[in-house]
């Protein structure tokens, strides 16, 4: 075991209001002691990788299923960890009973309201921050909203509705908009910024933006559109709106994992993103999408067998990216004089 193991959470302990977390699979928490032990030792925030999505929480109309999600919350509470809720409204992981036919506006509004009421009330006081809306902006044309089942039935004002409803259901939860490829300064992050400004101008309860940060080693660097400067600039402008920023789903896929330069790049990317988050006042949480390369969505989704995108290897040993984050935390605290 590396001598730095366990240092991440120990160092975090005395930074109030700052969280480092990971997405988790409840069956692994229950079934694999090393999985659960590593989580409890290293992180102070969790998010369910899948089990708070609509398909899992409301598999049949009006029948809510919280067993798996509750297990995540119970584990988090037992280990004094905060919980992010992911996600109330999305175009994916929607149950078949919603997608099997076109919905009228009234019916779609009713479905969303009923869903948000039940889920947010169930986790009231237990979920610190909700991804109320996931990926509402169009993939190809960021100047438009994505034509989801919700958008088609309700129109653009569905966003206002869901944030207001979530706020009524749990006025203490922080409400987030979460999206991908909007980390640096680009057309999509401009669109997120404008959308957030509009929501806030209409008095919609909105407290933060999640930057997913599913990236490749090729995507981040001094000569790339996404780098430490553009990430900092984007977080800063969102912060200037009064919003918090969470890095919500970081992983760094490494198609050429067997090349030492690629592995070194990955380590540096984790260091730099984490350093930017620590340095920016608005950035209050940093989460990776999983934590061990044993369980990651990347190989299947991106068809990269050996992508090794996370902080721990498949045997739960910390990788150099983990050590880089520990170092970044130490330097941060030295500068603060704590």
Is position 66 an interface residue for ligand XIL (rule: CB under 6 A)?
no
Q: Which is nearer to ligand XIL, 88 or 269 (CB)?
A: 88
Q: How far is CA 64 from CA 47, 56, 69, 174, 278, in A?
A: 19, 8, 11, 23, 38
Give the 3-state secondary structure of the chain.
Answer: CCCCCCHHHHHHCCCCCCEEEEEECHHHHHHCHHHHHHHHHHCCEEEECCCCCHHHHCCECCECCCHHHHHHHHHHHHCCCEEEEEEEECCCCCCHHHHCCCCCHHHHHHHHHHHHHHHHHHCCCCCCEEEEEECCECCCCCCCECCCHHHHHHCCCHHHHHHHHHHHHCCCCEEEEEECCCCCCCHHHHHHHHHHHHHHHCCCCCCEEEECCEEECCCECCCCCECHHHHHHHHHHHHHCCCEEEEEEEEEECCCCCCHHHHHHHHHHHHHHHHHHHHCCCEEEEEECCCECCCCCHHHHHCCCCCCCCCECCCCCECHHHHHHHHHHHHHHHHHCC
Separation of alpha carbons 129 and 17, rounded Å: 13
Q: Convert residues 231-260 into a mask of x (bound to ligand XIL by CB under 6 A) and - (unbound).
A: ------------------x-----------
Smallest gap from residue 47 Cβ to ligand XIL (A): 9
Smallest gap from residue 335 Cβ to ligand XIL (A): 33
Is position 134 an interface residue for ligand XIL (rule: CB under 6 A)?
yes
Smallest gap from residue 74 Cβ to ligand XIL (A): 21
Q: Which is nearer to ligand XIL, 11 or 23 (CB)?
A: 23
- Give yes or no for a contact between 149 and 91, defined as CB atoms under 8 angstroms apart: yes
Q: Convert residues 286-315 into a mask of x (bound to ligand XIL by CB under 6 A) and - (unbound).
A: -----------x------------------
Tokens of 183: 């980390």
Residue with the two structure tokens 């259901």? 169
Active site residues: 135, 249
Smallest gap from residue 202 Cβ to ligand XIL (A): 25
Is position 212 an interface residue for ligand XIL (rule: CB under 6 A)?
yes
Smallest gap from residue 249 Cβ to ligand XIL (A): 6
Q: Which is nearer to ligand XIL, 134 or 267 (CB)?
A: 134
Is position 50 an interface residue for ligand XIL (rule: CB under 6 A)?
yes
**Rg of the chain in Å (alpha carbons):** 19
Smallest gap from residue 297 Cβ to ligand XIL (A): 3
Smallest gap from residue 39 Cβ to ligand XIL (A): 16
Is position 95 an interface residue for ligand XIL (rule: CB under 6 A)?
no
Is position 4 an interface residue for ligand XIL (rule: CB under 6 A)?
no
Separation of alpha carbons 207 and 190, rounded Å: 18
Q: Which is nearer to ligand XIL, 289 or 332 (CB)?
A: 289
Is position 317 an interface residue for ligand XIL (rule: CB under 6 A)?
no
Residue from 38, 39, 44, 49 binding ligand XIL (CB under 6 A):
49
Q: Which is nearer to ligand XIL, 135 or 275 (CB)?
A: 135
Site residues for ligand XIL per CB under 6 A: 49-50, 134, 212, 249, 297
């Amino acid at each position: 075991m590396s001598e730095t193991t366990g240092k991440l959470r120990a160092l975090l302990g005395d930074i109030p209001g700052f969280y480092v977390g990971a997405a988790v699979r409840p069956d692994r928490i229950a079934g694999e002691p090393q999985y659960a032990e590593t989580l409890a030792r290293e992180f102070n925030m969790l998010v369910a990788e899948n089990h708070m999505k609509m398909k899992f929480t409301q598999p049949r109309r009006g029948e809510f299923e919280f067993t798996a999600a509750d297990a995540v919350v119970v584990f988090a509470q037992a280990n004094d960890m905060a919980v992010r809720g992911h996600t109330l409204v999305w175009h994916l992981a929607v149950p078949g009973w919603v997608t099997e036919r076109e919905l009228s506006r009234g019916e779609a509004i009713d479905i969303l309201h009923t869903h948000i009421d039940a889920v947010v009330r169930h986790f009231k006081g237990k979920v610190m921050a909700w991804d109320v809306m996931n990926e509402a902006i169009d993939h190809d044309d960021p100047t438009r909203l994505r034509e989801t089942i919700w958008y088609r039935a309700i129109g653009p004002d569905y966003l206002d509705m869901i944030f207001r409803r979530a706020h009524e259901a749990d006025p203490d939860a922080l409400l987030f908009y979460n999206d991908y490829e909007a980390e640096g300064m680009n057309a999509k992050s401009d669109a997120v910024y404008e959308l957030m400004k509009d929501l806030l101008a209409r008095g919609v309860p909105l407290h933060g933006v999640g930057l997913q940060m599913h990236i490749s080693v090729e995507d981040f660097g001094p000569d790339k559109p996404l780098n430490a400067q553009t990430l900092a600039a984007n977080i800063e402008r969102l912060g200037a709106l009064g919003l918090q920023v969470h890095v919500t789903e970081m992983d760094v896929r490494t198609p050429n994992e067997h090349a030492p330069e690629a592995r070194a790049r990955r380590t540096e990317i984790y260091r730099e993103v984490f350093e930017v988050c620590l340095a920016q006042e608005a950035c209050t949480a940093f989460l990776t999408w999983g934590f061990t390369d044993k369980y990651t969505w990347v190989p299947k989704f991106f068809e990269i067998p050996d992508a090794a995108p996370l902080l721990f290897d498949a045997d739960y040993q910390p990788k150099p990216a983990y050590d880089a984050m520990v170092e970044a935390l130490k330097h941060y605290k030295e500068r603060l004089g704590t």
